[in-house]
Amino acid sequence: MLKNILDKGYFSKEIKHSKDVLASFNIIKKFKLKNLNQRAGYSINIYDQLDNKIKTNIYSYIKKIVNKNKFIEKYIFLPKILKLEVLISSYIPSESKNPTRAMLWHRDADDIFSHIKIIIPLGITNKYNGMFSCLSRKVCHRLQYLKDEKFVRSLMDKSEFYKADQYRLSDETVRKKFSKEIFDFKSTGNDILFIDSNICYHKGGQILRRGYKRHLIIATIGGITHSFNPYFSESGLSFVKFFARIMKFYKKIKLNIEIKFKNKLINI
Ligand SMILES: [Fe+2]
């Protein structure tokens, strides 16, 4: 498993959810979205609106998965569950034709060290209801960025909102250039995906058919330098925060040395 993460940056595996967990999933699937103040290009996170019992159930399930998958301890220094999201994506006509933000290929920038996202689809997911796709880390070193020139040109006459996607890649280009390196996580609802989304390009959440939906749990597991740690947003300087900053600074220097030997931007 560690080998898969080090090689490609992701891997999926089958899992048998317990009856109790499936009961929580079913409640989530019946959740009625109230106000649709959805950020364009992103799914809606309903985690905070769920009952405490379901939240606790999900948290302990993720904890169990983390404890069982020992590779996480080897991959991340002092791993912690930093964020739980329960996402619902629905059909939006404009986005089904013009994908933006998370629906385009991109990498996250949540940490300069390793992190893992555990992705748990709560039912069948395929290309019509926003399946998650990932691209092997082999195609691009973490210090290099892919630039989709054709896509950038297509944004020229669009609004500022769309122009902000210029560092993302279109599905058309990625499939044309790297078809062998893509993994489409078509899920039966009985499998989960582990991915370091800071080093792997990925995308998901674009619903192509009216009436279709996608329900997904995403857990972010990271170490002390991860930007989801609460002490990065708090004022005051605790020892942990101070230590984390030193670590981050050290890593930055190391990256700067490495970057000198890399060709930063690759046009595809
Ligand atoms: Fe992402």
Ligand 1 centroid to 123 CA: how many Å? 20
Q: What is the pLDDT of residue 262?
A: 63
* Cβ–Cβ under 8 Å, residues 8 and 136: yes
Ligand 1 centroid to 157 CA: how many Å? 26
Ligand 1 centroid to 19 CA: how many Å? 30
Taking alpha carbons only, the member of 36, 54, 21 closest to residue 192 is: 21
Ligand 1 centroid to 239 CA: how many Å? 30
Q: What is the pLDDT of residues 140-170, one digit of tens each?
A: 988 888 999 999 999 999 999 999 999 999 9
Domain with residue 39: its CATH number is 2.60.120.620
In a domain, 252, yes or no: no
Ligand 1 centroid to 53 CA: how many Å? 28
Ligand 1 centroid to 103 CA: how many Å? 9
Strands 265-267 and 145-147: parallel
Q: What is the pLDDT of residues 194-245, one digit of tens each?
A: 999 999 999 999 999 999 999 999 999 999 888 888 877 766 667 777 777 7
Please state, in angstroms and rounded to a whole number, the distance separating the CA atoms of residues 71 and 151.
37
User: pTM of the predicted model, to two decimals?
Assistant: 0.91
In a domain, 71, yes or no: yes
Ligand 1 centroid to 241 CA: how many Å? 25
How far is C-alpha 45 from the geometric centre of its chain's CA atoms? Answer: 13
- The residue with greater pLDDT, 174 or 245, is 174
In a domain, 44, yes or no: yes
In a domain, 236, yes or no: no
Taking alpha carbons only, the member of 216, 244, 192, 225 closest to residue 102 is: 216
Q: What is the pLDDT of residues 104-143, one digit of tens each?
A: 999 998 888 899 999 999 999 999 999 999 999 999 988 8
CB neighbours of residue 27 within 10 Å: 13
Q: What is the pLDDT of residue 254?
A: 73
Residue 14 belongs to domain spanning:
2-230+263-267
Q: How confident is the model at residue 78 (pLDDT cuts 50, 70, 90)?
A: very high
Ligand 1 centroid to 90 CA: how many Å? 18
Q: How confident is the model at residue 192 (pLDDT cuts 50, 70, 90)?
A: very high
Total tally of structural domains belonging to the chain: 1
Please state, in angstroms and rounded to a whole number, the distance separating the CA atoms of residues 197 and 249.
21
